[in-house]
Amino acid sequence: MRRSRVAALFACWTLAACASFRIVRTGEKLPPRPPDCDVRFEHLSYEQALEQGERELGSGCAAGYDGSEAGEFTPDLKEAVRPRACALGGDLVIIVGTCTSDPGLNDVILPGITLMVLAKGPPAAGAPPK
């Protein structure tokens, strides 16, 4: 059993298809943008983003991106995240921590990074206060 888990984990780390990004809305609902919209990927803390007038829309775990990539927005990470950020109406993605995936193939749990999707400007009219 242990050998199959190690083999599955190795296979996932060597295949980009195993990397995934799930997102949960944690803020207001904005209209979606086109899947290939402009999204900024910046190295800001959550507090810095808020100070710059950004507002939180959602967050999620980008599983399959290990700790060695935690400080980098690799091209495949941007490709996986961009359409989901656009679907939330976001225009900024920041790294806020690390995470692990839900058990998947052969009960393998993948390390990942926690990302937050934000949008510039004041809350939309009629948005509930936070």
pLDDT band at 6 (very low <50, low <70, confident <90, very high): very low
Average pLDDT for the chain: 78
Segments forming the whole domain that contains residue 59: 2-120
Determine, yes or no, domain membership for 24.
Answer: yes
Contacts of 108 (CB under 8 A, 6+ apart): 5, 8, 9, 12
- Tokens matching residue 126: 């009629």
Backbone phi and psi for residue 79, each to the nearest 5 degrees, phi listed first = -65, -40
CA distance 37 to 18: 24
Residue 16 has pLDDT above 90, yes or no: no
Determine, yes or no, domain membership for 28.
Answer: yes
CA distance 108 to 41: 28
Position 34: which residue type?
Answer: P
Considering only 64-68, 96-100, 106-110, which range has the smallest mean pLDDT?
64-68
pLDDT at 71: 65
pLDDT at 105: 58
| 36-92 pLDDT tens trace | 999 999 999 999 999 999 999 999 988 877 554 546 788 888 998 999 999 999 999
How many domains are there within the chain? 1
Determine, yes or no, domain membership for 128.
Answer: no
pLDDT at 125: 53
The position carrying tokens 């950004």 is 54
pLDDT band at 100 (very low <50, low <70, confident <90, very high): confident
Element (H, E) at 87: helix 75-87
pLDDT at 99: 85
Q: What is the mean pLDDT of residues 85-103?
A: 89
119 neighbors 89 (Cβ within 8 angstroms) = yes
